[in-house]
Amino acid sequence: MNYNYHTHTPLCAHASGTPEEYIINAIENGMEYMGFSDHMPFICANKNQSGYRVPYDKGKLYCDEIKKLALKYKDKIDIKVGFEMEYYPENFKEMLKNARDFGAEYLILGEHFICDESVNGHYSSKDTEDIDLFKTYVDNICQGIKTGVYTYIAHPDMFNFVGDKEIYREQMRRICKVSKEYDIPLEINFLGIRTNRIYPNRKFLEVAAEEQSPIVFGLDAHSTEDSYDGESLKKAMDIVNELGLNYIGRPKIISIK
């Protein structure tokens, strides 16, 4: 594995280490392609900003800083700057415009919430039997894929639907089918492997294998040591081989410039 397009920075307030430290560690471990994809700045309808995002007024600074580093290390590693961004139907156009204005080069889709990020909102990893919420999550990701601007889908299996297993498979199959049809990869998320989260979800990946959706890896690095992760790589390759997943290697970057 010589690529990773899922990297955070301390600007999102839940990561440690400097971007330059991440880059040096990645180079030392043989990485050749690296992308920063911190959480997209976003001001909600209630004028609040979620605490897990890069602050709105730091969006441009973040892109500028990574571009400077990309130049500094260009002979050793190819570095791109982008964002991990939800697909919220109502806000998509504005968010895409802002991402471009900040200077982002690419996007990955991470649907952490279902539109509403207030205390009343639903965090995708929180367990629920609510079918409507689950369908909205799936709808958003499918629509997001169809916009053609997202390079890949980060942790598509982060939604924690604990209801009927057949409904789970049926809904997740919609994501897998659209991913295959539009050739937009789904990520096996190494943060999930490292920290034993509910993703990667085997039931999800079984459906992805049946549909032969394109699969990529993402480190979801939140600290310097995470900018390479050989241990999770072994586990991820085991899952790929065991389930017969369509692992494609380095994703093709969709430029939003």
Q: How many residues bind Zn ion (CB under 5 A)?
A: 3
Residue 257 contacts residue 45 (beta carbons within 8 Å)? no
Among 86, 211, 220, 226, binds Zn ion (CB under 5 A): 220
Segment interacting with Zn ion (CB under 5 A) among 57-65, 76-84, 195-203, 207-215: 76-84
Give the nearest distance from C-beta 7 to Zn ion in angstroms: 8
Q: Is 185 in the site for Zn ion (CB under 5 A)?
A: no
Q: Which spans in the chain are helix H?
A: 19-28, 59-72, 92-102, 131-147, 165-182, 190-194, 202-211, 230-243
Segment interacting with Zn ion (CB under 5 A) among 71-79, 93-101, 106-114, 164-172: 106-114
Question: 85 or 178: whose CB is closer to Zn ion?
Answer: 85
Dihedral pair phi/psi, residue 85, rounded to 5°: -135, 135
How far is CA 42 from each of CA 159, 212, 215, 223, 231, rounded to the nearest angstrom?
Answer: 21, 34, 28, 23, 34
Residue 201 contacts residue 2 (beta carbons within 8 Å)? no
Number of residue whose CB is nearest Zn ion = 110
Among 17, 35, 41, 110, binds Zn ion (CB under 5 A): 110
Give the nearest distance from C-beta 241 to Zn ion in angstroms: 25
Chain residues in the site for Zn ion (CB under 5 A): 84, 110, 220
